[in-house]
Amino acid sequence: MSKRLTGATGTSLIGGTEARSSRSLPVLLIPIGVVGAALAPVPLWIGDSRVLMGVAVLGLAFACYAIGFNVIFGSTGQLFLCVGALAGIGGYGAAILADTVGLPITASILVATLAATFTGGLLSFIAVRRSLGVIFTGIVTLIFTLSFDALLLGLSDLTGGDTGRLIDSGAGTFLRDQIPPYYLMLALVLVFLLIHGLLRRSHIGWAFRALRDDEVAAELAGIDVARYRVYGALIGAAMLGLAGSTYAFTEGRLSPTTYGFGQVDVVVLVMLAFGGIGTLFGPIVGAVTFTIVDEILIEFGQLRQVAYGILIIVLFLRMPRGVIPTVASLWRRVRGLEGSEDSETTDSATGNLEVVSAESHSAE
Amino acid sequence: MLEVTGFSAGYQGNDVVHEVAFRVDPGEAVMIIGSNGAGKTTLFRAMCGLLSSSSGKVLFGGDDITGLPAERIARLGMRFVSAERHLFPRMTVQENLLLGAYPGRPDPETMSVVLELFPRLAERLRQHVGTMSGGEQQMLAVGRALMSKPQLLVLDEPSTGLAPLLAQATYEALGVLRQRGLTVLVAEQQVPLAMAFSDRGYVLENGFIRLQGTTEELAANPGIRSAYLGVT
Amino acid sequence: MIANILDGIVLGLQFGLLATGLTLVYGLGGVLNLAYGQMAVTSAMMVAFAMDAGIPALPAVGIGLLAGGLLGLFLDQTILRPVYRLHDEPRVLLSLLLTLGVSFIVDGFLIWRYPLKALTLHIGGGAVEILGVPMRRGSLVASAITLITFVALFLFFQRTTLGRAVRSVIEDEEGARLVGIYPDRMLRLILVLSGVLAALVAITRSMVTPVNTTSGLSITVFALIVTVVGGLGNVAGALLAGIILGIVSVVAADLIGSYISLIILLGAAAVTILIRPAGLLGVKE
């Protein structure tokens, strides 16, 4: 009974476990619909403020980024520290295509998204070909991020360098209004959730779980681990590119800090660690929480980085699976539904972190 | 000198060695024999602090050393030469030997005793360990352990991977050391070698001590003779 | 060109010493310290504060070096405690994440409180000619100090018992334990040493160009690049990689541009990981 609730993917409040994959679509659509319904009325409350709406739109963009990263890291255990850079390929790519090359906006977004997808897939392909472990994958993708940043600064004619550039395309359309971008990004969020949810229920999702739980066993069972890793990277990178490029047009201006490591990757990591890596709604919980918290703490300016630092330490020491799963399993334990299964390692991403938490506690 | 009682140890909650008890008195040569997988390595590793035990006690020189980490036990006068030897590959023979005396200062007299015992090492003092043969590495492992002038030398299958002549030579060197007063505990799969060397022995099978006695007693035991000595 | 190469060597020596601290900690303890740059910057700031308070340069530098060592000790005693209970990959991962958190805390605080603070050590005197190129005294003094430090490190590791003991833990931790060496004490020593080295590099760097509170991240990045190219855990590799990359960096920046120079360095690290992960002088496992 408890196995079915926890599943092999680590605790997830709502979402795919082996037993549920045969259930029909509504089980997936209902919670997504709830999320949509919960987030839809936000403009009613803050729609007057351009600043706050901007924050909200950015928050939804981060939710998209977090879902994309969740697919790459949470599903296939690849530590891609290039979330911002992939979104940036989407954003800067689409902006340059639309303004400088003159493509229509939709086409620009499409091409830029494809570029990001290809890059993500390429990085993953290289990583699996060279059997890079988690650490080296992280280092290589970090190198990519830093190179992308240097490239943005270097090609200042195209990119506007340090100060960034304005995006002319889309000016005067609904994209730059106060409220429509919010619903545009919200639509993306819901679509991404749906894709991720369907993915988890599909045979691809089953392969993801298998390769996370035990890579060697998965290989022996005939799963081409390399191929599924690249699939995961392709899908996640596509999400990142699409979100990055769409966001660019709603924002109207870009600079290296829009997609920088410290501004995007770190934040997404914290959001996901908080909400729950590998869970379906973890990214939403994390993104909403931190958008609100960040806004509340806005007066503290630079000091917020201190808060993030403390948070990273606390999160990865105490709650490596994220707040939601930890609270959920505590709740289940209180109700007597689980034994000591919480310390079982699940996927390689959270698995490593679980080892961390379990072992650091066993010695206390 | 060494007394082990009720000792159980294993990996991740599963015991491989169960309630083992044995003793080694000063000046003795004691063997623990058993086939592959009997648990000899697990027993020694747990006893010497590389692995945690689940129950039992280890007394060395009257002091309770159960559960102490390997580095502490090494400083108390019990030196372990493991089957994998764990030498320092990119360091020279000389450096490996000098480190054997840690934390004390390397005693030149001890060094010359060791080199006298293993002349091949003296020839290769400046050579890097990684380039040496298995036999030479084994000699170095024993030599390194001796540099600290231990009271008890514990060896796990010293004949592993060695040609018969070399294994023989190793035991001969141990024999010389015995005559000079060293107490030795050895785990061995190659029973005849161990028997020629030891005074007493214990037989470990599937993690349990099944038999014990003097070498003569064990050699005369029909079960031992058929299982380990190939006599029918 | 010769000027570029000489400048490159000056920079490269610093790269090498910087990477030495990071690579030793990884090679011995399996810990990736992403707060390394912040250790360097904080130590440099201590020197700056001391000098502001009127303390003469030399004692102020001593304070900085002490601060670096203490920071290393602090990491060992606090943040890294939970990391030590793990081994291999989970250990590296957790150390990476926790030290990343520390780097944010330090950066956030320093940049918030002292956004414009910088350390600059002026070495008086005119330029000195080396191979026909006028070199600033600051660069020469910095390089001399760095070279002396390397020699001292070499003597320590090769000639002293303690240095040998440290090397043995890097070689084979279990073997070291079997001869009575305490790996955790050695790691503590190396962490303190890495802190001192970080401080030393920041201080000598300030003789060439100002070191300010925002430099933390780039210091860590450069240290990481050189460490990876030189081979994780390999001090000689760090020195060699440092000098090569230093020269490449200066030459590329002069010929092409500073952004491309950085990309080349990053590319070198990426190529190393992909083609020869053990690094220039690393041992293939």
The 10s digit of each residue's pLDDT in B110-135 is 888 888 888 888 888 888 888 888 88
* Chains touching A, CB cut-off 8 Å, 3+ pairs: C
Task: Out of A130, A146, A363, name the one closest to residue C266 (CB).
Answer: A146
Distance CA C149, CA A29 (A): 64
Distance CA C201, CA C146 (A): 8
Collapse the DSSP code of B13 into the 3-class scheme (helix H, G, I; strand E, B; otherwise coil) and give the result. coil
Q: Which of A173-177, B20-24, C9-13, C59-63 has the lowest mean pLDDT?
A: A173-177
Probe site for chain C from A129, A297, A316 (most C CB atoms < 10 A): A316
Dihedral pair phi/psi, residue A286, rounded to 5°:
-65, -45
pLDDT of C215: 87
In this structure, what token pair is assigned to residue C201? Answer: 């590099």
CA distance A330 to chain C (A): 22
Would you call B102 and C178 a contact, using CB atoms and an 8 Å cutoff? no
Look at chain C and report how many structural domains it folds into: 1
Q: Which helix (H) or strand (E) holds B55?
A: strand B53-60
> Is residue B226 over pLDDT 80?
no
Contact A135, A271 (CB under 8 A): no
Please indicate, yes or no, whether the overall pTM of this predicted structure exceeds 0.80. yes
Task: Out of A150, A312, A356, name the one closest to residue C104 (CB).
Answer: A312
Domain assignment present for C266: no
Residue B73, CA atoms < 13 Å, CB-side half-sphere: 28
List of chain A residues whose C-beta atoms are within 8 Å of the C-beta of residue C82:
317, 356, 360
Residues 6+ apart with CB under 8 A from A224: none
Taken in order B58, B62, B67, B71, the sign of the CA dihedral is: negative
Where in the sequence is the domain holding C52, given as residue range(s)?
Answer: 2-123+135-214
Task: Out of B79, B82, B99, name the one closest to residue C165 (CB).
Answer: B99
- Count of residues for chain A? 364
Would you call C105 and A309 a contact, using CB atoms and an 8 Å cutoff? yes
Collapse the DSSP code of C249 into the 3-class scheme (helix H, G, I; strand E, B; otherwise coil) and give the result. helix
Chains B and A: 3 or more CB pairs within 8 Å of each other: no
Strand B78-81: give its sheet, edge to edge.
B78-81, B152-156, B183-188, B29-33, B200-205, B208-214
Q: B103 preceded by cis ω (within 30°)?
A: yes
CA A257 remoteness from chain centre: 18
List of chain A residues whose C-beta atoms are within 8 Å of the C-beta of residue C79:
313
A90 to each of A238, A251, A276, B162, how far by Cα in Å? 9, 14, 26, 62
Distance CA C197, CA A240 (A): 40
List of chain A residues whose C-beta atoms are within 8 Å of the C-beta of residue C107:
305, 309
List of chain C residues whose C-beta atoms are within 8 Å of the C-beta of residue A305:
104-105, 107-108, 111-112
Q: Which of C272, C271, C248, C274 is nearest to C261 (CA)?
A: C248
pLDDT of A11: 33
Task: Out of C104, C224, C273, name the one closest to residue A306 (CB).
Answer: C104
Q: Which of A143, A27, A167 is nearest to A94 (CA)?
A: A167
Distance CA C83, CA A10 (A): 23
Share of chain C above pLDDT 90, in %: 47
Would you call A146 and C267 a contact, using CB atoms and an 8 Å cutoff? no
pLDDT tens-digit series, residues B180-198? 888 999 998 888 888 888 8
Domain assignment present for C226: no
pLDDT tens-digit series, residues C141-180? 899 999 999 999 999 999 899 999 999 998 899 999 999 9
Distance CA C166, CA A322 (A): 38
Whether C266 contacts chain A with CB within 8 A: yes
The CA radius of gyration of chain B, in Å to the nearest whole number, is 17
- Which positions 64-123 of C are in contact with A (Cβ < 8 Å)? 79, 82, 85-86, 89-90, 92-94, 96-98, 100-109, 111-112, 115
In this structure, what token pair is assigned to residue A145? Answer: 């991020």
Q: CB neighbours (10 Å) of residue C236?
A: 15
Whether B90 contacts chain C with CB within 8 A: yes
pLDDT tens-digit series, residues A35-49? 888 888 888 888 788
Q: Which of C74, C115, C93 is nearest to C214 (CA)?
A: C115
> Is residue B153 over pLDDT 90?
yes
For residues C129 and A264, the model is more confident at: A264
Q: What number is the ipTM of this complex?
A: 0.89
Contact A68, A237 (CB under 8 A): yes
Residue A117, CA atoms < 13 Å, CB-side half-sphere: 14
pLDDT tens-digit series, residues A2-25? 333 333 333 332 333 344 444 567
Whether A268 contacts chain C with CB within 8 A: no
Structural class in CATH, domain B2-228:
alpha beta
- Which positions 292-321 of A are in contact with C (Cβ < 8 Å)? 301-313, 316-317
Contact B16, B185 (CB under 8 A): no
Distance CA A287, CA A15 (A): 19
Probe site for chain C from B99, B111, B147 (most C CB atoms < 10 A): B99
Give chain C's mean pLDDT: 88
Q: Which of A301, A57, A29, A318 is nearest to A191 (CA)?
A: A29
Reduced 3-state DSSP string for chain A: CHHHHHCCCCCCCCCCCHHHHHCCCHHHHHHHHHHHHHHCCHHHHHCCCHHHHHHHHHHHHHHHHHHHHHHHHHHHCCCCCCHHHHHHHHHHHHHHHHHHHCCCHHHHHHHHHHHHHHHHHHHHHHHHHCCCCHHHHHHHHHHHHHHHHHHHHHCHHHHCCCCCEECCCCCCCHHHCCCHHHHHHHHHHHHHHHHHHHHHHCHHHHHHHHHHHCHHHHHHCCCCHHHHHHHHHHHHHHHHHHHHHHHHHHHCEECHHHCCHHHHHHHHHHHHHHHCCCCCCHHHHHHHHHHHHHHHHHHHCCHHHHHHHHHHHHHHHHCCCCHHHHHHHHHHHHCCCCCCHHHCCCCHHHHHHHHHHHHHHHCC
Buried b or exposed e, range A180-219, using 16+ CB within 10 angstroms: ebbbbbbebbbebbeebbebbbeebbbbbbbbbbeeeebe
Q: Which of C119, C145, C150, C80 is nearest to C216 (CA)?
A: C119
Contact A297, A31 (CB under 8 A): no
> Is residue C266 over pLDDT 70?
yes
Collapse the DSSP code of B152 into the 3-class scheme (helix H, G, I; strand E, B; otherwise coil) and give the result. strand
pLDDT of A284: 92
The CA-to-CA distance between both ends of chain C, in Å, stands at 39
Regarding beta strands A253-254 and A165-166, do their DSSP bridges make them parallel or antiparallel, or are they unpaired? antiparallel
CA distance C179 to chain B (A): 6
> Is residue A34 over pLDDT 80?
yes
pLDDT of B186: 92
Domains recognised in chain A with CATH numbers: 28-304 (1.10.3470)
Domain assignment present for C270: no
Distance CA C203, CA C62 (A): 10
Whether C181 contacts chain B with CB within 8 A: yes
> Is residue C280 over pLDDT 70?
yes
Would you call A151 and C92 a contact, using CB atoms and an 8 Å cutoff? no
List of chain C residues whose C-beta atoms are within 8 Å of the C-beta of residue A122:
none
Give chain A's mean pLDDT: 80
pLDDT of B230: 67
Mean pLDDT (whole number) for A341-364: 43
Would you call A353 and C32 a contact, using CB atoms and an 8 Å cutoff? no
Would you call C85 and A359 a contact, using CB atoms and an 8 Å cutoff? yes
Whether C237 contacts chain B with CB within 8 A: no
What ranges do the domains of chain B cover? 2-228
pLDDT of C117: 81
pLDDT tens-digit series, residues A248-274? 988 888 888 899 888 899 889 889 888
Whether B99 contacts chain C with CB within 8 A: yes
CA distance C182 to chain B (A): 6
For residues A217 and A67, the model is more confident at: A67
The angle, 0 to 180 degrees and rounded to 10, between the axes of the packed helices C183-205 and C2-29 is 160
Taken in order A179, A182, A186, A192, the sign of the CA dihedral is: positive
List of chain B residues whose C-beta atoms are within 8 Å of the C-beta of residue C177:
49-50, 69-71, 74
For residues B96 and C284, the model is more confident at: B96
pLDDT tens-digit series, residues C186-213? 999 999 999 999 999 999 999 888 888 8
List of chain B residues whose C-beta atoms are within 8 Å of the C-beta of residue C180:
71-72, 74-75, 102-103, 148
CA distance B104 to chain C (A): 9
Q: Which of B42-46, B134-138, C185-189 has the lowest mean pLDDT?
A: B134-138
Mean pLDDT (whole number) for B1-7: 86
Whether C183 contacts chain B with CB within 8 A: yes
List of chain B residues whose C-beta atoms are within 8 Å of the C-beta of residue C161:
98-99, 102-103, 105
Dihedral pair phi/psi, residue B16, rounded to 5°:
-105, -30
pLDDT tens-digit series, residues C7-49? 899 999 999 999 999 999 998 988 999 999 999 999 999 999 9
Dihedral pair phi/psi, residue B89, rounded to 5°:
-60, -35
In the structure, what pLDDT confidence band is assigned to residue A82 with cuts at 50, 70 and 90? Answer: very high
pLDDT of B227: 75
List of chain B residues whose C-beta atoms are within 8 Å of the C-beta of residue C165:
99, 102
List of chain A residues whose C-beta atoms are within 8 Å of the C-beta of residue C84:
none
Unique residue bearing structure tokens 């000591």: A340
Whether C167 contacts chain B with CB within 8 A: yes
Would you call C98 and A317 a contact, using CB atoms and an 8 Å cutoff? yes
CA distance C181 to chain B (A): 6
Contact A232, A200 (CB under 8 A): no
Collapse the DSSP code of B18 into the 3-class scheme (helix H, G, I; strand E, B; otherwise coil) and give the result. strand
Share of chain A above pLDDT 70, in %: 82
Would you call B74 and C178 a contact, using CB atoms and an 8 Å cutoff? yes
pLDDT of B105: 79
Residues 6+ apart with CB under 8 A from B112: none
Task: Out of A130, A147, A312, name the one closest to residue C101 (CB).
Answer: A312
For residues C194 and B61, the model is more confident at: C194
H-state helical runs in chain B: 40-47, 70-75, 93-100, 108-117, 119-123, 134-146, 164-179, 191-197, 215-220, 222-228
pLDDT of A359: 45
pLDDT tens-digit series, residues C101-123? 999 999 988 888 888 888 887 77
